Amino acid sequence: MNRQISLGLTMLAGIAIGAVAVQALHAQAKPFAYVVSEITVTNQDAYDKEYVPPVLKSIQDGGGKFIARAGKTLTFIGAPPAPRVVLLQFESMDKAQAWFNSPATKAAAPIGEKSATFRSYAVEGLSP
């Protein structure tokens, strides 16, 4: 009988420790960050050949993931977006900011500004 009680208490203790660990991990989870870029390309050839390759590499190196990339847009209210809209996802706002401030992204920016105009901002998603 003592053995069954001991086993039961051990199981309950294990469940309690597991539940606490799951709650701690869940509490540490940061919401995703989304970078929205509205782009008006003024020189398509230069944009494609000179800007896109280095900025794509910086996005990959920074852990970014494309959610939308120059697809069809539909305006419901207000002014329409720029002709090209890109939506990136990062693990957190810190990761998005680190990507934007990275040397690779900073080096690509002046190249892009020669062939397009940009409006970019980051939005923090909902907490998990």
For residue 114, give the 3-state DSSP assignment.
Answer: coil
Q: How many domains does the chain have?
A: 2
For the stretch 112-124, pLDDT in tens is 999 999 999 999 9
Q: CB within 8 A of 100, min separation 6: which ones?
A: 35, 120, 122
For residue 34, give the 3-state DSSP assignment.
Answer: strand
In this structure, the answer to whether residues 102 and 40 fall within a common structural domain is yes
Range of the domain at 9: 1-29
Which pTM was predicted?
0.75
For the stretch 40-84, pLDDT in tens is 999 999 999 999 999 999 999 999 999 999 889 999 999 999 999
In this structure, the answer to whether residues 41 and 101 fall within a common structural domain is yes
Q: Please choose, from the candidates 29, 34, 32, 63, the residue with its C-alpha nearest in 3D space to the C-alpha of residue 123.
A: 34
In this structure, the answer to whether residues 120 and 82 fall within a common structural domain is yes
Q: Is the dihedral of CA 12, 18, 24, 29 positive or negative?
A: negative
In this structure, the answer to whether residues 81 and 112 fall within a common structural domain is yes
Report d(CA 47, CA 60) in Å as an integer.
Answer: 18
In this structure, the answer to whether residues 88 and 101 fall within a common structural domain is yes
